[in-house]
Amino acid sequence: MKRIVSNIQNLGFTIMNAPSNDNKVKAGGIIIDQTLVNGQSEGVSVRLINGTKKTAAVKLDRQALTDLLVAVQEVLAVEE
């Protein structure tokens, strides 16, 4: 008999725009979820939030996440 015990954790981040008094501006943001099993990543998914609607989850591999990080850093460098 072989007994397997898995330690499953779900790590989630919800990042939203600052609230606006403009009625034409909907709440918007992004959800990033990661599943960890025994300390190892089993996948990362991203969803966009537009008002009360959420898009379908899109799985991203490590290279896509690295590219996303580089893109965000480049955008923020211009925003400063």
Who wins on pLDDT, 4 or 15?
Answer: 15
Q: What is the pLDDT of residue 21?
A: 84
Residue-wise pLDDT tens digits, 47-80: 999 988 999 999 999 999 999 999 999 999 998 7
Instruction: Enumerate the β-bridge partners of residue 35.
Output: 10, 43
42 — pLDDT class (breaks 50, 70, 90): very high
Q: What residues have CB less than 8 Å from 15, skipping those under 6 apart?
A: 29, 30, 31, 32
Residue 44, CB-side half-sphere exposure with 13 Å CA sphere: 15
Q: Distance (Å, rounded) from C-alpha 37 to C-alpha 11?
A: 11
